[in-house]
Chains A and B, each alone.
Chain A
Amino acid sequence: MQKSFFRKTIEIIIFTVFIFFLFAPLLSLGIWSVALRWYWPHTLPQKIGFDYWLQALGITKSLTLGAVNVVPAFLLSLGIAIIVVIITMAIAIPAGYALAKLKIPALLKGIILILFLLPRAFPQQPVFLNLMLMFNKIGLTGTVLGVIFVHIVVGLVFAVWITASTFSSIPPELEEAARSVGATRLKAFFKVTLPISTPGLIASAVFVFLTSMDEFTGTFFVGLPFVTTLPMTLYSASGSNIQFASVIAILLLIPSILFMIVIQKFLKAEHLGGMGG
Chain B
Amino acid sequence: MANLKVNNLNKNFGKVKAVQEVSFEAPEGKVLSLLGPSGCGKTTTLRCIAGFENPDRGEIYLDDRKITTIPPEKRGIGMVFQNYALWPHMTVYGNLAFGLQIRKVPKNEIIKKIKKVLGMVQLEGYENRYPRQMSGGQQQRIAMARALVFEPGIMLLDEPLSNLDAQLREEMRFEFTELQKKLGITAVYVTHDQAEALVISDKIVILDQGKMVQFGTPKEIYSNPKNKFVAGFIAVTSFIDGRIDSFIEGKKKVIVKTDDGLVIHGFDNSFDIGQKVSVAMRMNAVKFIQDENKSDKSTANIFKGKIIQSSYLGNTIDYKIRMGKWEIRTNAEAKYDFKLGEEVAFHLPPEDIIVTREE
Contact = CB atoms under 8 A, between A and B. Distances in A.
A176 B99 contact: no
B50 A180 contact: yes
For the residues of A in contact with B, the DSSP-based class is helix
Nearest to B47: A176
B89 A182 contact: no
A187 interface: yes
For the residues of B in contact with A, the DSSP-based class is loop
B166 interface: no
A196 interface: yes
Contacts of A184: 71, 73
A177 B102 contact: no
Interface in A176-219: 176-185, 187, 191-192, 195-196
A178 B99 CA distance: 8
A174 to B, nearest CB: 5
Given A183-B98, A191-B98, A177 B146 contact: yes
A171 interface: yes
Interface residues of B, number: 25
Interface in B138-165: 146-147, 150
A48 B88 CA distance: 54
A222 to B, nearest CB: 41
B99 A181 contact: yes
A179 B72 contact: yes
A185 B52 CA distance: 11
Nearest to B50: A180
A49 B85 CA distance: 60
B49 to A, nearest CB: 11
A interface residue count range (under 10 / 10 to 19 / 20 to 34 / 35 or more)? 10 to 19
B89 A180 contact: no
A196 B130 CA distance: 14
A173 B85 contact: yes
Interface in B69-116: 71-73, 76-79, 81-83, 85-89, 98-99, 102-103
A196 B89 contact: yes
A30 B2 CA distance: 74
Contact of A171 (B73, B79, B85, B102): B85
B88 A181 contact: no
Contact of A180 (B82, B87, B103, B147): B147
Contact of B98 (A176, A181, A185): A181
A179 B73 contact: yes
A180 B149 CA distance: 12
A174 B79 CA distance: 11
A176 B85 CA distance: 9
Contacts of A187: 102
A155 B56 CA distance: 41
B77 A180 contact: yes
B85 A181 contact: no
A191 B86 CA distance: 13
Nearest to B76: A182
Contacts of A196: 87-89
Contacts of B81: 173, 176-177
23 contacts: A174-B87, A176-B52, A176-B72, A176-B79, A177-B86, A177-B87, A179-B51, A179-B52, A179-B73, A180-B73, A180-B78, A180-B79, A181-B147, A182-B73, A182-B102, A183-B73, A183-B98, A184-B71, A185-B71, A191-B98, A192-B87, A196-B88, A196-B89
Interface of B: 50-52, 71-73, 76-79, 81-83, 85-89, 98-99, 102-103, 146-147, 150
Interface of A: 171, 173-174, 176-185, 187, 191-192, 195-196
In the A-B complex, the 9 residue pairs with the smallest Cβ-Cβ separation, listed nearest first, are A181-B99, A173-B85, A180-B79, A177-B85, A179-B72, A182-B102, A173-B81, A179-B73, A182-B73
